[in-house]
Amino acid sequence: MGYLLNADLTLLANFTNPNRKVNVDFSYMYIELYYKNTLIATRSIDHFSAARSETKLANVEMVTSQVQLPLKDSEQLQNQMASNRIQFEVLGFFRARSKFGSILRYSYWLYGRCTIVVSSPPGGVLVGKKCRTKH
């Protein structure tokens, strides 16, 4: 049957506009948190703009309550907790839009994927990450 997972994980998301000529508007943003193949939390982020060469940070609190894990995944979670290295997947979906003057607008979707490793609760901290973003 599996077991129920309760977790509270806070992520600091980094949004950078590397372009030196135009501002970028970020909208329709949401982040999903997975343990193995089980979606355990989803969170949206309010839209914002990043000026040229600007970096914005967003605190994203992912709270799970009574999420049922398959028995095999629950056993793996227990093993990871015992070894003090718990692995999660974080997926992000974002719409970015830039304006070139008053006529030309360019819009595209960004997809972020991170594998993060945290130490065991209650005071777990980030011990490893691997991230990539693509259009």
pLDDT digits (tens, 9 = 90+) for 55-104: 999 999 999 999 999 999 999 999 999 999 999 999 999 999 988 777 88
Residue type present at position 59: N
Residues, the chain: 135
Task: Give all domains of the chain, ordered by start, each with its CATH number.
Answer: 3-134 (2.60.40)
pLDDT tops 80 at residue 1? no
Q: Among residues 108, 124, 3, 109, which one has the least CA distance to residue 62?
A: 124
